Amino acid sequence: GIQVEQSPPDLILQEGANSTLRCNFSDSVNNLQWFHQNPWGQLINLFYIPSGTKQNGRLSATTVATERYSLLYISSSQTTDSGVYFCAVGSGAGSYQLTFGKGTKLSVIP
């Protein structure tokens, strides 16, 4: 099956700093989502982005499907951005089935 690798696994930032999280995948995808898992465990949708670029406030994402990677940018980080960020992809006929990366654990310190 498709492989998903996220980097870095852990990231510690000072409040106000910017960061880039990366997701590499091993095959072409029709489905790519970024999630933020809050402290209570719920996965919050950030972006549905199988290709192209999207922005939502301080967050933006870019997927370069031909090169099999996606980037999540967080600008002017806040303590509430802390948590685990997951990339999940779907490929081929089963694109609605998501394969998750192991996540990036972000800690934003005041």
- Which residues would be at the binding site for another protein (CB under 8 A)? 30-31, 33, 35, 40-43, 45, 48, 50, 86, 88, 90, 95-98, 100-103
> For 11-34, b where at least 16 C-beta lie within 10 A, e where not — what string?
bebeeeeebebebebeeebebbbb
Closest separation between CB of residue 3 and another protein, Å?
12
Q: Which of 41/110 has CB closer to another protein?
A: 41
- Residue 9 preceded by cis peptide, ω within 30: no
Q: Which is nearer to another protein, 24 or 97 (CB)?
A: 97
CB of 39 to another protein, least distance (A): 11
29/74 with CB nearer another protein: 29
End-to-end CA distance of the chain: 41
- Least distance in angstroms from the C-beta of 71 to another protein: 19
